[in-house]
Amino acid sequence: MTTYNINEFFETIQGEGQYTGTASIFIRLQGCPVGCSWCDTKHTWPINEGVGIQLKDVLAKTDETEEWAAANAEELLSFIKNEGYRAKHVVITGGEPAMYDLNPLCNVLHENGYSTQIETSGTFEIKVPEKTWVTVSPKINMAGGYKVLESCMARANEIKHPIARQKHVEELEELIAVAPISDDALIYLQPISQKTSATKLAIETCKDKNWRLSVQVHKYIGIS
């Protein structure tokens, strides 16, 4: 039975991409070797065996820590129901969620009336059902040395690309040229750290290319 290492578990509003504004349950998985320099969840990178905790203790955490709890799909579903969460959309993020086979978890959630979404760097094979919404935030030339996979780009329902400078836009264009996306995939540009210059560049590029802007609404309104 597949188990998942859970670093965080919470209900909030999705603040990015196509599902912006949607009430969502976030499941943040532990483990990521990609090495993005601007990552705001670096505490999810290592999987240290000595910091395992109980699933109920994940909710009790008050700081960002490397502690994680192991749980399978049925246990996670039971946990969602017991907590009384009202949202019916589940976002599986990380860390790098595609390091795990997410089919068991997503299938159980679908069978119980939930929709699912994953947020991935595109550097690991994506193992999800067809119904799962796949957000690929392609991590190009990161410290970990992982390449963005063509299969991930082809599977993406949306591309969400963080940018700060023109070179980041060009990197995305170059990637799409060699790893095409589907005709109906959406492309979002997301300004890194909400900087004024990055936001202006994203807006102008979106107008020029008929792409979309993702502004991390949760940060503007001050929620997790």
- Output the pTM of the full model: 0.95
Whether 146 has a pLDDT exceeding 90, the answer reads: yes
- Please state the rounded mean pLDDT for residues 136-163: 96
Has 40 been labeled as part of a binding site?
yes
pLDDT on residue 172: 98
Whether 220 has a pLDDT exceeding 70, the answer reads: no
Has 117 been labeled as part of a binding site?
no
Has 32 been labeled as part of a binding site?
yes
Has 190 been labeled as part of a binding site?
no
Whether 21 has a pLDDT exceeding 70, the answer reads: yes
Over the stretch 176-197, which tens digit does the pLDDT of each residue have?
Answer: 999 999 999 999 999 987 779 9
Has 216 been labeled as part of a binding site?
no
Has 15 been labeled as part of a binding site?
yes
Whether 157 has a pLDDT exceeding 80, the answer reads: yes
Q: Which residue ranges form the domains of the chain, and what is each CATH number?
A: 3-160 (3.20.20.70)
3-state secondary structure the chain: CCEEEEEEEEEEECCCHHHCCCEEEEEEECCCCCCCCCCCCHHHCCCCHHHECCHHHHHHCCCCCCCEEEEEHHHHHHHHHHHCCCCCEEEEECCCHHHCCCHHHHHHHHHCCCEEEEEECCCCCCCCCCCCEEEECCCCCCCCCCCCCHHHHHHCCEEEEEECCHHHHHHHHHHHHHCCCCCCCEEEEEEHHHCHHHHHHHHHHHHHHCCEECCCHHHHCCCC
Has 137 been labeled as part of a binding site?
yes
Whether 142 has a pLDDT exceeding 70, the answer reads: yes
Has 212 been labeled as part of a binding site?
no
Has 84 been labeled as part of a binding site?
no
